[in-house]
Structure 1
Amino acid sequence: MDQPKPPKNKNTGLQNAAKLSGVGIQMGLTIYLGNLLGSWLDGKFETTYLEISITLAAIFLSMYSMIRQVNNLNK
């Protein structure tokens, strides 16, 4: 016979907020560093498109990371 599994300990709202408190800082830092890298590469290779391209990639990367973190909390 299978033993009943103990109920999952549900996180309270405060615990979830604590886990997600660094998401804004992480997103801002990722986007800032992407912009900084793109700006440096534009100066190094004398182009005008790398800053915009790398900043957009950093925005999508930070959004993907945020969505993954929120989905992992909901499991």
Structure 2
Amino acid sequence: MKKQNYSKKPLNKALQLSGAGLQMGLTIYLGFLLGKWLDDKFQLTFLTETITLLAIFLAMFSLIKQANKIND
């Protein structure tokens, strides 16, 4: 009988992308917490939204970069 060579590459890519999604969610959440803490500390009202938005852009940039790296 022949041994079949199964490629685990699609599963590996899926695991890497799911990890990237979790990293994206964590980055946004931590940005939100940082902004909320800074707003409370300095008695401001705009840092939560600003830092959360920056965290979203950073997370999207990181996700796109990781996806391009995985697909190469």
Structure 1 length normalisation: TM-score? 0.80
Aligned positions, number? 66
Higher relative contact order, structure no. (Cα contacts within 8 Å, ≥ 6 residues apart): 2
Unaligned runs of 5+ in 1: 1-9
Identity %: 58
Structure 1 runs of 4+ with >6 Å offset: none
Compare the two structures and name the one with the higher helix fraction.
2
Q: RMSD of aligned C-alpha atoms?
A: 1.5
- Deviates further, 29-38 or 16-25: 16-25
Question: 1:20 is matched with which residue?
Answer: 17
Q: Unaligned 5+ residue runs, structure 2?
A: 1-6
1:18 Cα deviation from its structure 2 partner? 1.7
TM-score (norm 2): 0.83
